[in-house]
Structure 1
Amino acid sequence: MRRFPPFAALRSFEAAARYNNFKLAAEDLCLSASAVSHQVRSLEEYLGVQLFHREKGKPTLTSIGAEYLEKIQDVFDRLESATNATTKRGTRSSLTLQLLHSLASCWLLLLLPKLKIRCPNLDIKLMSATTPVEFSSGDIDAAIRYGDGNWLGLQSDFLIEDELLLVCTPEIAKDLPSLDNLKQLETHTLIHCSLTPDEWKEWIKATGNEHFSSDHWLDLDSRGLVLEAASSGLGIAIGRMPYVEEYLRNGRLVEPYSIRAKTGKGYYLVYPEHHAKFDNVVHLREWLLEECQPNTTD
């Protein structure tokens, strides 16, 4: 167990030593001079040494007192600095958010103008990463993470469900077969994201078909590249929400079939519990939850 003297006594000693005056120390601490003197004496009794000479009511540090002050002064300075930094962080006007690069480029960046209108003084920093965020460094305020919503030691807010859907340009959609003749898709170029090799199988399975093959593939290693290739008419692709959301909204891609395969996972806003009170995280959370609410209007 750590052995510490009473903190109130330490505060009185540090202030009295800094001012070399009990009265000035008392004003600084909003105490009476007698209370400061009493606290200093209690510290001397705790330590078993004399920290001040008291001659004619004027305190001066003993050599032991000066040495002790030097050793604890750094602790007080660091404590003050940490407290100021934490206090400022709770109300700071910047936000550092970590998420996948492809998720930022295909989805979040397109929404950020709305957040800037809502919170014009909020400075935003996006950090892309392929590994889970480490909040221990203190550099990250929040993250958007893919999974089932359960992460030890973190709060999570559900944003968007992960769904697989077939997408293509409106022109290509006119020539696609019906759901009853999906085997004819084999004549088209199928755009494939190599990062998720099973998504075509998962979508085909959701249609009630088990076997599917094609001799025409375009393999790409980026979700953004897959959607750009599809919107350029290079073939048909599996889109995932929310990456494909803006492409569907602006008509560059369409969803020719109503079949969607659900993965059971989704995207979540995650953050340590104590970050929940930070103003910047509060603003981000409220805005994202509103943006991700399902649109129930016709």
Structure 2
Amino acid sequence: MRRLPPLTAIEAFIQVARTGSVKAAAQELALSAPALSRRIQALERFIGKPLFERRHQAVALNSDGERLLQQIAPVLDRLTDAVEYMTSGVEVLRLRLGVLPLFASQRIFPHLGDLRARYPQIHLDIDTAGHNMARVGDGLDAAIALARDPDPSLYAKRLDTNNVYVIGARTLLEGPDPVTRPEQIEKLTALIHRDMPDTFSAWRHAAGLDELEPLAIDHFDSGALMLEAAAQGLGIAFMHESHFDEAHDPRLVKLFDIEVASPYSYWFVCRPRAMQLRQVKWFHDWLVEVLKA
């Protein structure tokens, strides 16, 4: 049987690859930075080639490191699950799910009791960091991504279609100069999500106002904070109809009666082979059923 490198070296490699930082990975593994670096160096000597590009403040995988991570990270995750099962005596099917916080809070968490009742073996590790589609297969079993079109190499299931709403504070409809005409956007700040950069241009084109420019554009990476900023009167949010409907916030109103199909949808994505895992398939089927209902 071919000799394998130490498991501690593999664990260190995966942690550094996922965090992009020796210091952060060392903290996660309760090691000193020099001790962790020695484990990485031992793995590189075993393999016979470097796995990282060293930079001043961080490290990044090189092409060999990327290939190794894609091959061994899922195996180590499954090994972790197997040890957890053997030590607890309870079957645990752990699903590492990437999802945007607003989708999770509005459309998943209200129904998690049903998921637990139906599949008590499934336990979710929730990751709300951005760019989750790019990390599927590398630390994530699956992701719910907001995108125009998913990566064609992934299994993808569209979860919804939506309209773009202009969402603002109810106070914008009050006072001597209520906001009732799209042209008044010139005096307002537009709030745009970084994962949905084209919502404003799509809405503006559908409204026949291609030259319309807001007072300013502020970018967010949190839908929940966008809604709160709009409710506080800090700007008008270009978001999805479902974001508005599920917020149930009496401080917010939809501005303008203009129907605009969104160029973005939520997608369930995973590596094609991941659909063979029970926890991925069960969660996928459950989520599709819940959203249809």
TM-score by length of structure 1 reads 0.56
Q: Which one-letter code corresponds to 1:151 in the other structure?
A: D
Counterpart mapping for 1:100-179 below 5 A = 103-104=100-101, 106-110=102-106, 111-120=108-117, 121=120, 122-131=122-131, 132-137=133-138, 139-174=139-174, 176-178=178-180
User: How far has the Cα of 1:282 moved from its partner?
Assistant: 2.7
Q: Which one-letter code corresponds to 1:128 in the other structure?
A: T
User: How far has the Cα of 1:230 moved from its partner?
Assistant: 0.4
CA distance in structure 1 between the partners assigned to 2:135 and 2:220 by the alignment:
25
Match of 1:97 in 2: 97
Cα distance change, pair 177–146 in 1 and its aligned pair in 2 (3 A)? closer
CA distance in structure 2 between the partners assigned to 1:258 and 1:290 by the alignment:
31
Asked if the contact 2:155/2:270 (under 8 Å) is kept, the reply is yes
Match of 2:57 in 1: none
User: How far has the Cα of 1:218 moved from its partner?
Assistant: 6.1
Q: Which one-letter code corresponds to 2:115 in the other structure?
A: R
Q: Which one-letter code corresponds to 1:271 in the other structure?
A: C
Asked if the contact 2:168/2:235 (under 8 Å) is kept, the reply is yes
CA distance in structure 1 between the partners assigned to 2:114 and 2:288 by the alignment:
16
Match of 2:287 in 1: 288
Counterpart mapping for 1:166-205 below 5 A = 166-174=166-174, 176-178=178-180, 181-187=181-187, 189-193=188-192, 195=194, 198-205=198-205
Cα distance change, pair 287–170 in 1 and its aligned pair in 2 (3 A)? farther
Cα distance change, pair 153–114 in 1 and its aligned pair in 2 (3 A)? same
CA distance in structure 1 between the partners assigned to 2:232 and 2:208 by the alignment:
29
For 1:119, what is the secondary structure of its paired residue? helix
Cα distance change, pair 113–226 in 1 and its aligned pair in 2 (3 A)? closer
CA distance in structure 2 between the partners assigned to 1:238 and 1:148 by the alignment:
16
Could you list the structure 1 runs, at least 4 aligned residues long, displaced by more than 6 angstroms after superposition: none
CA distance in structure 2 between the partners assigned to 1:261 and 1:282 by the alignment:
33
User: How far has the Cα of 1:268 moved from its partner?
Assistant: 0.7
Asked if the contact 1:160/1:242 (under 8 Å) is kept, the reply is no
| % identical aligned pairs | 22
Match of 1:30 in 2: none
User: How far has the Cα of 1:198 moved from its partner?
Assistant: 4.7
Per-residue deviation, residues 199-218 of structure 1 (Å, max 9, x unmatched): 33321221122221344x36
Where does the alignment leave 5 or more consecutive residues of structure 1 unmatched?
Answer: 1-77
Asked if the contact 2:182/2:256 (under 8 Å) is kept, the reply is no
Q: Which one-letter code corresponds to 2:268 in the other structure?
A: L
Q: Which one-letter code corresponds to 2:104 in the other structure?
A: L
User: What is the alpha-carbon root mean square deviation over aligned residues?
Assistant: 3.3
Match of 1:255 in 2: 254
Match of 2:237 in 1: 237
User: How far has the Cα of 1:284 moved from its partner?
Assistant: 1.7
Where does the alignment leave 5 or more consecutive residues of structure 2 unmatched?
Answer: 1-74, 86-90
* Alignment partner of 1:266 is 2:262: no
Counterpart mapping for 1:19-38 below 5 A = none
Asked if the contact 1:229/1:235 (under 8 Å) is kept, the reply is yes
TM-score by length of structure 2 reads 0.57
Cα distance change, pair 223–274 in 1 and its aligned pair in 2 (3 A)? same
User: How far has the Cα of 1:136 moved from its partner?
Assistant: 4.2
CA distance in structure 1 between the partners assigned to 2:134 and 2:268 by the alignment:
12
User: Between Structure 1 and Structure 2, how many residues are aligned?
Assistant: 201
Cα distance change, pair 219–290 in 1 and its aligned pair in 2 (3 A)? same
User: How far has the Cα of 1:125 moved from its partner?
Assistant: 0.9
CA distance in structure 2 between the partners assigned to 1:151 and 1:212 by the alignment:
32
